[in-house]
């Protein structure tokens, strides 16, 4: 896999950036590094302030991937932006609940709900 491979599908809906993960499994260390860098670029380089992360394709997520999401959340907050998560399947939502990260992130059942009032 080349480091230039796009791991995120990005769409602008009104003034909100909707990001869909391309991968079903966000497990592999190298892949997580690339995904993290592409996510951080949305804030650090593109200065996007309202971001929705859509997990509809994602079937597996490791703690290393959670770490990248936490760093992303910090970056968005530091830039006074807002981050919302949506469409997380039940197994993965359980991972967020076990780790209490459902308290840190704002999670919506689907993209439509995530975009409401954003």
Name the DSSP class of 80. T
Given a contact cutoff of 8 angstroms between Cβ atoms, the answer to whether 52 and 111 are in contact is yes
**List 43, 66, 76, 114, residue binding another protein (CB under 8 A):** 66
Picking from 30, 104, 38, the residue whose alpha carbon sits closest to that of residue 66 is: 104
Told to check if 95 binds another protein by CB under 8 A, we report yes
Told to check if 29 binds another protein by CB under 8 A, we report yes
Told to check if 5 binds another protein by CB under 8 A, we report no
Told to check if 63 binds another protein by CB under 8 A, we report yes
Q: Which two tokens stand for residue 5?
A: 């491979």
Residues with Cβ within 8 Å of 86's Cβ and at least 6 positions away in sequence, in order, are 52, 53, 54, 55, 107, 108, 109, 110, 111, 113, 114
**List 22, 62, 82, 115, residue binding another protein (CB under 8 A):** 62
Told to check if 33 binds another protein by CB under 8 A, we report no
Q: Which residues here bind another protein, judged by CB under 8 A?
A: 27-30, 59-60, 62-64, 66-68, 70-71, 73-74, 91, 95, 98-101, 103-104
């Amino acid at each position: 896999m080349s480091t230039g491979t796009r791991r995120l599908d990005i769409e602008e809906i009104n003034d909100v950036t909707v990001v869909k993960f391309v991968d079903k499994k966000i497990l592999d260390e190298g892949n997580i590094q690339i995904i993290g860098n592409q996510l951080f670029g949305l804030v650090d380089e593109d200065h996007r302030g309202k971001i929705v992360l859509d997990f509809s394709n994602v079937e597996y997520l490791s703690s290393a991937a959670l770490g990248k999401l936490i760093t992303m959340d910090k970056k968005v907050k530091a830039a006074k932006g807002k981050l919302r998560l949506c469409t997380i399947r039940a197994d993965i939502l359980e991972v967020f609940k076990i780790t209490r990260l459902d308290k840190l992130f704002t999670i919506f059942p689907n993209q439509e709900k995530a975009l409401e009032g954003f």
